[in-house]
């Protein structure tokens, strides 16, 4: 079976395997890393219906004793109640420190599984098995884990690296179009921030999924290795996210993460020339439209500004925004929040 392996050197070192059909090899990938242990699979109702039996059979065939816990699909499951319920499940199954969690799903499952693993018995190992494009290129790599609380998204979490990532790109064949497109926004983001060659490949649709996922993961790996704990460079991965999160919040999460990031990237690209940087807004907008994104901002500049004020990236009176210098090269710019408010009023009609 053909697959790519990308190695990450962080506070925990691990391999990320990427290829079509490699879920069948999961047990063989796990054995050299975790040895003989019990495995608790965390998944959601959508993934369970399609692939729940398959992952259990593969792991059992590889000699593993496996249990499974299923959460309802959707962001609402990324909450304190689900966290506690899963921790109780791990305890009821008497998992020990040598056992491990398998997070089998998209971003919600990955974030919840990772956070649970970091807390249960003060830390057990976990494996990310992403099933969405977004989780494959972003949330399954780099060790950010979190749940949402009423005050905001991802406000409770930890940096806790997985022991292995196994990305079977064939699992994405069954994704609804809009969920797959959400991941495409993150892929375009990687091209914009750090790789003009990747960006130009993305003009040819459909792109080579395995090659593109591998390239995005390499870019994320390189960033995480330099700034695992998000003190500087890792902020580049937030291109489009500062404005995107504001739009997601204003829409009460009816605008999906990918759609919001697409709108946010266009706003950032429009702000850039007002800060003396180049203007790639038309070029970026055209690519996003090719992918079917609606890039208009349905909220006023004042609404977006107000929503921004509670952003995690705000430090006192300053906020950090990622702006393009050219396609494939973005930079972090710290500016007073009021100044950003004035710029927003010039770029959002």
Binding region for ligand GLY (CB under 6 A): 138, 142, 144, 230, 234, 237
Measured from the CB atom, the residue of 48 and 218 that comes closer to ligand GLY is: 218
C-alpha dihedral (77, 80, 86, 88), degrees to nearest 10:
-150
Q: Rank residues 113 and 142 by Cβ distance to ligand GLY and give the closer one.
A: 142
Q: Is 166 exposed, middle or buried (0-12, 13-18, 19+ CB in 10 A)?
A: buried
For residues 125 and 136, give the distance between their C-alpha atoms in angstroms, rounded to a whole number.
19
* Nearer CB in complex with ligand GLY: 27/238: 238
CB of 109: closest distance to ligand GLY in angstroms? 15
CA–CA dist 137, 215 (Å, integer): 9
Q: Give the Cα separation of 179 and 168 in Å (integer).
A: 16
CA distance 140 to 129: 8
- Shortest CB 210 distance to ligand GLY, Å: 21
Q: For the CB of residue 126, give the shortest distance to ligand GLY in the complex, in Å.
A: 16
Question: Minimum Å distance from CB 236 to ligand GLY?
Answer: 9
Give 68 or 220: the residue with its C-beta nearer to ligand GLY.
Answer: 220
Q: Nearest residue by C-beta to ligand GLY?
A: 237
Q: Give the number of C-alpha atoms closer than 13 A to the C-alpha of residue 330, restricted to the C-beta side.
A: 31
Shortest Å distance, C-beta 172 to ligand GLY: 19
Q: Which is nearer to ligand GLY, 137 or 198 (CB)?
A: 137
Question: How near is the Cβ of 144 to ligand GLY at its closest, in Å?
Answer: 5
Radius of gyration of the chain (CA): 20
Q: Which is nearer to ligand GLY, 106 or 142 (CB)?
A: 142
Q: What is the spatial distance between Cα 139 and Cα 198, in angstroms, rounded to a whole number?
A: 19
């Amino acid at each position: 079976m053909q697959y790519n392996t990308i190695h990450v050197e962080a506070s925990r070192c691990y391999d990320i395997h990427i290829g079509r059909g490699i879920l069948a090899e999961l047990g063989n990938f796990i054995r050299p890393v975790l040895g003989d242990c019990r495995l608790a699979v965390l998944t959601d109702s959508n993934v369970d219906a399609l692939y729940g039996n398959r992952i259990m059979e593969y792991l059992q065939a590889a000699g593993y004793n496996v249990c499974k816990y299923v959460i309802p699909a959707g962001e609402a499951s990324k909450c304190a109640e689900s966290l506690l319920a899963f921790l109780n499940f791990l305890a009821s199954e008497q998992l020990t420190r040598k056992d491990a969690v398998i997070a089998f799903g998209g971003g919600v499952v990955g974030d919840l599984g990772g956070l649970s693993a970091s807390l249960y018995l003060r830390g057990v190992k976990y494996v990310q098995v992403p099933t969405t494009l977004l989780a494959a290129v972003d949330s399954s790599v780099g060790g950010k884990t979190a749940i949402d609380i009423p005050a905001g998204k991802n406000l409770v979490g930890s940096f806790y690296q997985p022991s292995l990532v196994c990305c079977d790109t064939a699992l994405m064949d069954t994704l609804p179009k809009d969920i797959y497109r959400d991941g495409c926004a993150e892929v375009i983001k990687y091209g914009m921030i750090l790789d003009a060659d990747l960006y130009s490949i993305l003009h040819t649709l459909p792109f080579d999924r395995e090659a593109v996922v591998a390239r995005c993961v390499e870019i994320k790996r390189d960033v995480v290795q330099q700034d695992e704990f998000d003190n500087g460079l890792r902020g580049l991965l937030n291109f489009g996210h500062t404005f995107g999160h504001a739009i997601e919040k204003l829409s009460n999460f009816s605008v999906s993460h990918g759609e919001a990031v697409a709108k946010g990237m266009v706003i950032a690209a429009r702000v850039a020339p007002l800060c003396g940087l180049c203007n790639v807004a038309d070029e970026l907008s055209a690519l996003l439209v090719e992918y079917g994104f609606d890039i208009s901002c349905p909220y006023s500049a004042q609404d977006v500004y107000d929503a921004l004020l509670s952003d995690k990236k705000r430090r006192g009176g300053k906020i950090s925004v990622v702006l393009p210098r050219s396609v494939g090269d973005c930079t972090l710019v710290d500016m007073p929040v009021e100044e950003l408010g004035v710029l927003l009023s010039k770029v959002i009609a």
